[in-house]
Amino acid sequence: MTPEVERPFPPGDYPVVVVGSGPGGIQAAYSLSRLGIEHAVISADPSPGGMFRRFPFFQRLLSWTKPHVLYDQRTREYEWYDWNSLIAVEPENRAVMPGLMDGTSEFPSRPEMELGIRTFAERTGVRVRHDTRWEGTARDGDRFVLHTSDGDYRAQAVIFAVGVAEPWMPETPGHQHVAHYVDTRAPESYEGKRLFIIGKQNSGFELASGLLHQASRIILASPRPATLSVNTHSLAGVRARYVQPWEDSNLGGGVFILNASIERVDRHGSSLTVHTRRSDNGDPFPAEVDEVIAATGFQCPLLDLPDLGVNVFGQSRLPTMTNHFESVGAPGIYFAGTIGQGVAGLKKYGIPANSGAVHGARYNARLMVQRLVEARFGVKRERPPVKTAEVVDLLLNEATTAPELWNQKSYLARAVTRDDDGTIRDDGIVSLADFVDSAGPDAVAITVETDDTGDIHPAVYVRRHGRVDSDARLDSSPLHDYRTTGHRKALQALVAPILT
Amino acid sequence: MALTTDEKMAWLEHVELFQGLPPDALRRVAERSGEIEFPAAHHIVTQGIIGNGLYIVIAGRARVVKGDQVAAELGPGEFFGELSVIDQMPRLASVIAQEPTTCLALASWDLIAEIERDPKLALNLLRALALRLRAARDEHRH
Amino acid sequence: MNSEEVVDELASLSLFADLQRPQLRAVAHIFSEESFPPGQRILRQGFQGSGFYVILEGDVTVRIDGEDRAKLSKGDFFGEMSLLLGEPPVADVVAIGELHVLHLAGPDLKGFLERYPPVMFRMLQSVARRLRNANRLRS
């Protein structure tokens, strides 16, 4: 462990405390430092990286960093093509990942990703007090008190970036015979085994892909059918990389995909029998196997936060949050990182945003911190004036190139507001859900959306008389460039009522 | 008129409620449906009386009357009476033949049996009811 | 709430009252659980891409042109009308307090109803009931 004198942020009073040193915590801390807000960052881990210190087990990440695109790596536009780097304003701190990856793939390995988060923290000066475990929480007047293994921290606001990585498994009878995904061993130890994997989401398919070579038979089971991301036009569903077991199952090669619920697991000597009930006809279906692994998911380790009013929902026990990632039940408690997936946004056609992944969560963290410091420390964000004649081009350019809009479609938007004094100001990147449901002065927001046919197009939301009444689509474009005469005309017509 | 089953099927095919039904389902509905002729001014269904079936106009013209208000005019291809099939409650309106009118009639029990076999038919019926609900609410707003 | 608890919740809702336990488990996986802060619109008048929702906890108000018309609570569902008619919603549905719902993607509703006829019947009964009420209001 680092000598005490070198460990930053000793227990005490801070305006803000960040808990967690994964992508969410590091990104939030960076934003706080650039806004000049004094804060502490604590983490139970010995080093940065969060979930990427352990996961994924097999294969590379599912998110890409493309080294060669039409934009220089040091630009904002490049961020869209690099889903793995944390975001910075300074050019020298941008695009950390392409510099670290070994060039054999556009998908980083787990160690490369872990190194990327640590490198970003080092380069940007984000420090963390490691080996400091958050153990409990209390209120003291208008302050929160964090009890940690090193002592107490007091803060006006706390940002929890603790991930959704606490293993969760249903307490089915016989669950003691079932290992969780997190306890998966080296592939060689599964040679020749008959495996039963509970869960048909990415972690289940990741295991099946990773152990396909060793296992003599793999059954993947869960009550509902698996979906493929290529069909959902989003990151929801099994990603392309893990589809091998699916293809294997279709062709009858030794992988079996079952829609059934697991009722019981029994041990008979050295084998296990998994008693399932089929979803299609309700018939019992027992399977004799050597090992059962539950890829059934994870929960958010919120400890005693529910006692402070943080309400949670869902199997993952995510907190209920505002559109700026503040707890609804306990204002002053904020969340960063993958926990942000609990803010659904508009979710048109059921298509989710990328808030659970780094490339979505990094923008959410920046937005959350901006709103936090505005609300609690009076730091007003810049809203530069925009000339009326420039509004349309600004918005169309954003729709064409803004990484926030492309990585968080129909979730983040670029907005321009007409203040009461008649000045038109650039509001920067905003939460689309917050924009469409808040009253306020006349304004327009543009984002990029996908519909149920897979068509990608800009969408425009105009607020007039305090209300956003409809969503207008602009035409899609084969190369996604919306800076055309036709688009200008269409957008001009939409914004004219509020600009004149 | 004495339509054959095939002729009845030809009629039903064009009725929105039966769109998209597989041929064997359409045949079953056709076989179960009875042809009834109503003279002019005759009540085909009467407001306030518990209904026992669904009707499809195949010839003539009928008027939907709620209380003393004329709600709609119905011609060939249009249907009515489906609500009482679902909830076995009194008819919301009377339907009165304006001229000699022929209908295909489907008894509630036959329609329900078919709905239970055919999710597509149930979905069409759901959509038909939703349309009527939307129309009823729009009228209420004006 | 773990998945068995969600299944228990579903079993208590009249919309799913006729489903067997294994079917309820499958349904629990088909829907996604979402949570919204007070004042958030869940359905938005005039917007494309709306979905189908069943309320697990909390209340919503159905608002048309700024006027609150109805209140829905645990066990109630909404969003099906616009999906069945292929049009954007004609009303806003707004969370009154913290709201916890099950959400089914709009494009998936028809397939879901076709696969689970008992749910469709319940919905038929609900729409029929509402149709009778709408008529009663007028006379």
By the 10 Å C-beta count (0-12 exposed, 13-18 middle, 19+ buried), A281 is classed as exposed
Q: Say if the Cβ atoms of A349 and C49 lie within 8 Å.
A: yes
Chain C partners within 8 Å of B125 (Cβ):
124
Chain A partners within 8 Å of C26 (Cβ):
223-224, 259, 261, 279
Q: Say if the Cβ atoms of B129 and C134 lie within 8 Å.
A: no
Amino acid at C56: L
> Mean pLDDT across the stretch A372-377?
97
Q: What is the pLDDT of residues A291-304, one digit of tens each?
A: 999 998 889 999 99
Q: Which residue of C has its CA nearest to B142?
A: C138
Any chains having at least 3 CB pairs less than 8 A from chain A are C
Q: Is the pLDDT of residue A176 over 50?
A: yes
What is the C-alpha to C-alpha distance for residues A498 and A442, in angstroms, rounded to an integer?
Answer: 6
Q: Say which of A313, A349, A469 has its CB closest to residue C35.
A: A313
Q: Which residue of C has its CA nearest to A453?
A: C107
B–A contact (≥3 CB pairs within 8 Å)? no
Chain B partners within 8 Å of C124 (Cβ):
86, 122, 125-126, 129
Q: Say if the Cβ atoms of A344 and C46 lie within 8 Å.
A: no
Any chains having at least 3 CB pairs less than 8 A from chain B are C
β partners of residue A287 = A274
Q: Say which of C90, C120, C130 has its CB closest to residue B122.
A: C120
Tokens describing residue A140: 């003291």
Alpha-carbon torsion (C106, C110, C116, C121), positive or negative: positive
Q: Say which of A259, A437, A449 has its CB closest to residue C41.
A: A437
Chain C partners within 8 Å of B69 (Cβ):
none
pLDDT at B84: 81
**Least trusted range by pLDDT, from A407-411, B73-77, B114-118, B128-132:** B114-118
- The alpha-carbon radius of gyration of chain B (Å, integer) is 15
Q: Is the pLDDT of residue A110 over 90?
A: yes
Chain B partners within 8 Å of C137 (Cβ):
140
User: Is A261 in contact with C25 (CB distance < 8 Å)?
Assistant: yes
Q: With pLDDT > 70 as the criterion, what percentage of chain A qualifies?
A: 98
The DSSP 8-state label assigned to residue C106 in this structure reads G
Tokens describing residue A90: 């300074």
> Mean pLDDT across the stretch A378-402?
97
pLDDT at A226: 86
> Mean pLDDT across the stretch A331-339?
98
What is the C-alpha to C-alpha distance for residues A462 and A465, in angstroms, rounded to an integer?
Answer: 10
Among B129, B131, B138, B139, most C C-beta atoms within 10 A, so best to mutate, is: B129
Q: For residue B9, give how far its alpha carbon lies from the nearest alpha carbon of chain C (Å).
A: 23
How many other CB atoms sit within 10 Å of the CB of residue C71?
11
Q: Say if the Cβ atoms of A433 and C40 lie within 8 Å.
A: yes
Q: Is the pLDDT of residue B142 over 60?
A: no
In the stretch 44-83 of chain C, residues with CB closer than 8 A to chain B read 64, 80-81
How many other CB atoms sit within 10 Å of the CB of residue A271?
12
Q: Name the most confidently modeled range: A139-153, A247-261, B4-18.
A: A139-153
What is the C-alpha to C-alpha distance for residues B111 and B78, in angstroms, rounded to an integer?
Answer: 16
Q: What is the pLDDT of residues A427-447, one digit of tens each?
A: 999 999 999 999 999 999 999
Q: Say if the Cβ atoms of C113 and B116 lie within 8 Å.
A: no
pLDDT at B141: 56
Write down the H helix ranges in chain B: 5-13, 23-32, 82-87, 108-117, 119-141
> Mean pLDDT across the stretch A171-190?
91
pLDDT at B2: 82
In sequence order, which residues have a C-beta less than 8 Å from that of residue A339 and are 6 or more positions away? A24, A160, A161, A162, A163, A164, A300, A318, A319, A325
pLDDT at A227: 82
Q: What is the pLDDT of residues C101-111, one digit of tens each?
A: 999 999 999 99
Q: pTM for the full model?
A: 0.90
Q: What is the pLDDT of residues A42-76, one digit of tens each?
A: 999 999 999 999 988 877 888 999 999 999 999 99
Identify the band that residue C139 occupies on the pLDDT scale cut at 50, 70 and 90.
Answer: very low
3-state secondary structure chain A: CCCHHHCCCCCCEEEEEEECCCHHHHHHHHHHHHCCCCEEEECCCCCCCHHHHCCCCCCCCCCCECCCCCCCCCCCHHHHHECCCCCCCCHHHCCHHHHHCCCCCCCCCHHHHHHHHHHHHHHHCCCCECCCCEEEEEEECCEEEEEECCEEEEEEEEEECCCCCEECCCCCCCHHHEEEHHHCCCHHHHCCCEEEEECCCHHHHHHHHHHCCCCCEEEEEECCCCCEHHHHCCCCCECHHHCHHHHHHHHCCCEEEEEEEEEEEEEECCEEEEEEEECCCCCEEEEEECEEEECCCEECCCCCHHHHCCCEECCCCEECECCCCEECCCCCEEECHHHHHHCCCCCHHHCCCCCCCHHHHHHHHHHHHHHHHHHHHCCCCCCCECCHHHHHHHHHHHHHHCHHHHHCCCCEEEEEEECCCCCEEEEEEEEHHHHHHCCCCCEEEEEEEECCCCCEEEEEEEEECCEEEEEEECCCCCCCCCCCHHHHHHHHHHHHHHHC
B–C contact (≥3 CB pairs within 8 Å)? yes
Q: Say if the Cβ atoms of C41 and A321 lie within 8 Å.
A: no
In sequence order, which residues have a C-beta less than 8 Å from that of residue A20 and are 6 or more positions away? A43, A50, A160, A161, A162, A163, A336, A337
Q: Say if the Cβ atoms of C114 and B132 lie within 8 Å.
A: no
| First-last CA distance in chain C | 46
Closest CA to C52 of C11, C9, C111, C136: C111
Amino acid at A103: G
What is the C-alpha to C-alpha distance for residues A128 and B20, in angstroms, rounded to an integer?
Answer: 63
Identify the band that residue A500 occupies on the pLDDT scale cut at 50, 70 and 90.
Answer: confident
Residue bearing tokens 């993947």 = A220
Q: For residue C94, give how far its alpha carbon lies from the nearest alpha carbon of chain B (Å).
A: 20
User: Is B86 in contact with C124 (CB distance < 8 Å)?
Assistant: yes
> Mean pLDDT across the stretch A1-30?
91
In sequence order, which residues have a C-beta less than 8 Å from that of residue A241 and are 6 or more positions away? A59, A60, A62, A107, A209
Among C40, C57, C64, C96, most A C-beta atoms within 10 A, so best to mutate, is: C40
What is the C-alpha to C-alpha distance for residues A460 and A482, in angstroms, rounded to an integer?
Answer: 13
Helix A244-251 and helix A202-211: axis angle, to 10°? 70
Q: What is the pLDDT of residues A204-240, one digit of tens each?
A: 999 999 999 999 999 999 888 888 877 776 666 788 8
Interface A–C counts its CB contacts (< 8 A) at 115
Chain C partners within 8 Å of A224 (Cβ):
26, 29-30
- What ipTM was predicted for this assembly? 0.94
Q: Say which of C110, C113, C124 has its CB closest to residue B129.
A: C124
Q: Whole-number mean pLDDT of chain A?
A: 94
Q: Is the pLDDT of residue C1 over 90?
A: no
Q: For residue A312, give how far its alpha carbon lies from the nearest alpha carbon of chain C (Å).
A: 8
pLDDT at A163: 96
